[in-house]
Structure 1
Amino acid sequence: MSLENQELRKAGLKVTLPRVKIYQILEQASEGDHFSAEDIYKLLMEMGEDVGLATVYRVLTQFEGAGLVSRHHFEGGHSVFELARDEHHDHMVCVKSGVVKEFNDPRLNELLTEIAETMGFEITDRTIYLYGEYKGTDK
């Protein structure tokens, strides 16, 4: 049994071709890649897969509910997905192009933990999105 099938079954989802194909796209993404439902739909079309956009949205929502993917909501209603991972990371979003870059800075993590402790909190989860203009050349 393939890894995709195992992950889907472990999450309590029936193994279907659209689910396997969408999981494979997310799994093969480079570190830091984030896909919108439309991005995934376009990739499926390029692969010659007959999967509708509504199905892509439905599968991604099912994956999110099962804890397989993380959905990030960016300003302007822009939502992207990535496979859920154990390690924490934050995001920078370009307000012009929509490019999303991940980062994980141990100094920031330590500082946030210290701030939380001084206020009597233990951080259990957090979400940090920084917005700006991406000056890099890669997409």
Structure 2
Amino acid sequence: MDEPSADRLKEALRADGVRITRQRAAILKVLSEAEDHPDATELHRRARDVDETVSLATVYRTLAALEAQGIVHRHVFEGTPARFETTNLPHHDHIIDVESGEVIEFASDKIERLQAEIAEELGYEVVRHRLELYCRRKPRRS
């Protein structure tokens, strides 16, 4: 899929009747360039590097509007604040490092097939799913 673009995010906000202010443009720029899963506080910090007038309230309102438009996913991983990513990425699952909080994206055809087989055996068809694995690094053996 395409890279997330600030223009695509602007279009989604306009469709929701939200004006694109200088502050919102800064938030959209940061969100479209994010290669991780930032929480609202981290988005706010990054957006203030672009425009120091961005408020945390504007970050939350902007994220809520983008989520309502289906342009942003909100992830609530155990023990962490909600994190966000744009929805234009191919399907993927997440490993959450329970010690560092790092979120690692991965895709596995094997897991996808197994989930579909299990659903089929139980008389269901997978419509959508979310897989989160909470892991810690194995200790190194000497």
For the aligned pair, the TM-score class normalised by the smaller chain equals 0.7 to 0.9
Partners of 1:12 and 1:84 in 2: CA distance: 20
SS at 1:74 equivalent: coil
Deviation at 1:7, TM superposition (A): 4.0
* Cα-to-partner distance string for 1:13-39 (whole Å, 9 max, x where unaligned): 332223222121121122xx1110011
Residue 20 (1) aligns with residue 1 (2) = no
Aligned with 2:104: secondary structure? strand
Local SS of the residue matching 1:23 = helix
Q: Tell me how large the CA RMSD over aligned residues is.
A: 2.0
Q: Is 2:52 aligned against 1:29?
A: no
CA distance in 2 between counterparts of 1:10 and 1:53 reads 22
Alignment of 1:1-139 (within 5 A): 3-4=7-8, 5-10=10-15, 12-30=17-35, 33-85=36-88, 87-134=90-137
Unaligned runs of 5+ in 1: none
TM-score (structure 2 length as normaliser): 0.82
- Structure 1 window deviating more from structure 2 (110-119 vs 84-93): it is 84-93
Q: What do residues 94-119 of structure 1 show as CA deviations (whole Å, max 9, x unaligned)?
A: 11211001111111111111111111
SS at match of 2:101: coil
Percentage of matched positions with identical amino acids: 38
Equivalence for 2:3: none
Count of residue pairs the alignment pairs up: 132
Q: Deviations over 1:35-84 (max 9, x none)?
A: 10011111122234311112211211121111110000011242100011
Give the letter aligned to residue 31 of structure 2: L
How far apart are 1:6 and its partner, in Å?
Answer: 3.1
